[in-house]
Amino acid sequence: MGGRSGPDPAQPPPIAIRRALEQGWQAFRQAPGTLILFTLLMGGLIIVFQLTIRFSTANIVNDYGQTDPLAWAVSRLAVVAWILGFLWLVVGLLRGADAVLQNTRPRLRDLLRLEGRALLRTGGTLALELLVLGVIVRLAQASAWLLALLEPPLMALPLLAGIAAVVYVLTDQILSLPLCVLGGRGPLEAFRRGRTAIDPHWLQALGLTLLLGLVVLSGFLLPLVGLAASLPLAACIQVAAYRQLFVSGRQQQLRRRQPQPVQPQRNRP
């Protein structure tokens, strides 16, 4: 009989939620002013773009039923700017969180620096996740509609299964954004690597997902000001968990694979 096999050195360790929370909080305390100011600036721009979208959309068709091309163009440009501002906020927060976790105080101009490739990777990753979630929701709705025709008492089952699948995907991809922003991975690679790392320890990742959700929801207790603090804190916790799996874990694997020096044997007299 073969001996018991040890842990796979290629498999990432489970997420230590308490350690991620403590490291994220300590990192946030190192540069709260810079992170909060950046969030306020980008959040203010996002609100301005959103108000522009609402105002211009309401004026696309005038009182005579004619389309105003200027209002239509402003509305489309505002949508693009809103998406760009949101991606800019995500990339800046993750980069700032990674900097403070490495004991480097980020500067506001560094967070505001526009990185086109990082924005494209982040947008592609979010679009891929939304596509997967959209397919799941549509399949659940179609299955519920079909069961409503055949077996009405069972129509709630596909909806419950769809909710469970959405929670599974959201938890599975909790680290996909740090993977694409900090790890330089493309959308498909970030999706795949995130799933590979999370699947063996899915319950720990679910706990991290719930923790991040509670941190963000707590920001709504104080509108705008609360979110300006809760979003950077959530980013610090998320990046701390990312570094556990993909930075510290990788360094440990490299140390394990390095050949150990051979100790010279002493000749006994």
Among the listed residues 114, 111, 109, the one whose alpha carbon sits nearest the alpha carbon of residue 93 = 111
C-alpha 42/C-alpha 198 separation (Å) is 31
Number of domains in the chain: 1
Q: How far is CA 165 from CA 118, 126, 133, in A?
A: 28, 17, 8
Among the listed residues 191, 59, 155, 35, the one whose alpha carbon sits nearest the alpha carbon of residue 107 = 35
Residue 262 has pLDDT above 80, yes or no: no
Beta pairing partners, 67: 61
The phi and psi torsions of 100 (rounded to 5 degrees) equal -70, -30
177 within some domain = yes
Are 185 and 193 in contact, with CB atoms under 8 Å apart? yes
3 within some domain = no
Unique residue bearing structure tokens 């990432």:
12
Residue 135 has pLDDT above 50, yes or no: yes
Residue 8 has pLDDT above 50, yes or no: no
As a whole number of Å, the end-to-end CA separation of the chain is 41
Residue 2 has pLDDT above 70, yes or no: no
pLDDT bin (cut points 50, 70, 90) of residue 128 is very high
Q: Which two tokens stand for residue 81?
A: 């700017």
Residue 265 has pLDDT above 60, yes or no: no
Are 111 and 38 in contact, with CB atoms under 8 Å apart? yes
- Strand ranges (E), 15-113: none
Whether the predicted model's global pTM rises above the 0.95 cut: no
Q: How far is CA 148 from CA 83, 156, 162, 219, in A?
A: 38, 9, 16, 40
Residue 63 has pLDDT above 70, yes or no: no
196 within some domain = yes
pLDDT bin (cut points 50, 70, 90) of residue 3 is very low
267 within some domain = no
218 within some domain = yes
Are 74 and 52 in contact, with CB atoms under 8 Å apart? yes
C-alpha 143/C-alpha 139 separation (Å) is 6
The phi and psi torsions of 262 (rounded to 5 degrees) equal -85, 125
Q: How far is CA 28 from CA 20, 101, 234, in A?
A: 12, 9, 9
- pLDDT confidence of residue 220: 85
152 within some domain = yes
- pLDDT confidence of residue 93: 95
251 within some domain = no
4 within some domain = no
**Domain residues for 232?**
17-246
| 14 vs 91: which has the higher pLDDT | 91
pLDDT bin (cut points 50, 70, 90) of residue 249 is low
The phi and psi torsions of 263 (rounded to 5 degrees) equal -80, 130
- Strand ranges (E), the chain: none
